[in-house]
Amino acid sequence: MHVKLMTVDDVADYLNVPESWVYGNWKTREIPFRKVGQSLRCRPTDLERWLDQQN
């Protein structure tokens, strides 16, 4: 099964925040990104799990 990984732009659209917010908060807020080459990518299921854990 092939799952499309989300880009920073995809995550920003999904969360309805600017890309700059995502870049500024991915480490401190522990958004579940992985480095793929020079790019950040996120599995949709990991993002959903992360959202469920937020207060």
Question: What is the per-residue pLDDT across 17-54, written as a single tens digit (0 to 9) for each?
Answer: 999 999 999 989 999 999 999 999 999 999 999 999 99
Q: Domain tally for the chain?
A: 1
Q: How many whole angstroms separate alpha carbon 38 and alpha carbon 55?
A: 31
pLDDT of residue 15: 95
Within a domain: residue 48?
no
Within a domain: residue 34?
yes
Within a domain: residue 52?
no
pLDDT of residue 2: 78
Within a domain: residue 51?
no
Flag whether pLDDT at 9 surpasses 70.
Answer: yes
Flag whether pLDDT at 1 surpasses 70.
Answer: no
**pTM for this entry:** 0.88
Flag whether pLDDT at 3 surpasses 90.
Answer: no
Within a domain: residue 27?
yes
* Domain around 35: 1-40
**14: which 2 tokens?**
């999904």
Residue with token string 């920073």: 8
